[in-house]
Structure 1
Amino acid sequence: MDAGLLVQHVLVGLAVAASAGYVVLTRFPRMARRLRGKLALGLVDSGRPALVRLGRKIAPDPSASRCGGCSGCD
C-alpha cells in the first residue's frame, strides 16, 4: 500500500471516529456520562499511577445534573 494512501485512510478513520464521538456526546449525554464513569473507574482501579491520574481526569463531575446538562428538558 502506498504511504500516501495509508495516511489518507488513517485521517478518514480519525474523522469518522471524531464525528461518532460528537454525536454520542450531543445526542446521548446520559449514556456518554455512564461510559466515562465506567472507564474512569476501571482506570482508577488498575493501580498504575499514570492510569489512575487519567481515570480521575476523565471521570464525570459528581455535582453535574443527571440529565447531561443540555437544558433541553426544561
Structure 2
Amino acid sequence: MSTGLLVQYVVIGLAVLASALYAFRKLAPQLTSRWLAAASIHFSQPGQAAWLRSLGRRLQPKQATGNCSDGCGTCGACGPKPPASARGGAMPLQFRPPQR
C-alpha cells in the first residue's frame, strides 16, 4: 500500500467519523449530553494530568438556559405548535359529503 493511498483512507475515515458524530449529536442530543458530562467528570478528577483536566472542562455540556432553543423539555412549552388556522394562517381544506 502506498503512502498516498494510506493518507487518502485516513482522511476519508476522519471525514466519515466527523459526519457520523455530527449526525448523532443532532439526532440524540440528550444522550450525547449525558456522555459528554460523564467524560467531563472522568477527565476532571484531581489525579489526572493537566491536559486531561483541561479537556474535561472543554467537554462539559452547556447548561440549559431556560429558553425553547436549548431542548431541555422540562417546562412543556416546547410542545407541538397549534395548527395554522389557530395562528391566523391559511385554513386547511375540509371535504364534506354532498347534501341531499
- TM-score using structure 2 length: 0.61
Q: Please give the alpha-carbon distance, in whole angstroms, between the structure 1 residues aligned to 2:41 and 2:8.
A: 35
Structure 1 stretches of 4+ moved >4 Å: none
**Does 1:8 pair with 2:8?**
yes
Structure number with higher helix proportion = 1
CA RMSD, 1 decimal: 2.3
Q: Please give the alpha-carbon distance, in whole angstroms, between the structure 2 residues aligned to 1:27 and 1:44.
A: 27
Alignment of 1:7-26 (within 5 A): 7-26=7-26
- How much identity, in percent, do the aligned residues show? 34
- CA-to-aligned-CA distance 1:3-54 (integer Å, 9 cap, x gap): 1110110011001101111111111000110111111111112421111111
Segments of 5+ residues of structure 1 without an aligned counterpart are none
Q: How many aligned residue pairs are there?
A: 71
Q: Please give the alpha-carbon distance, in whole angstroms, between the structure 2 residues aligned to 1:51 and 1:15.
A: 25
Q: Please give the alpha-carbon distance, in whole angstroms, between the structure 1 residues aligned to 2:61 and 2:10.
A: 29
Give 1:33's aligned residue.
33
- TM-score using structure 1 length: 0.80
Higher relative contact order (CA 8 A, sep 6+): 1
Bigger radius of gyration: 2
Segments of 5+ residues of structure 2 without an aligned counterpart are 73-77, 80-100
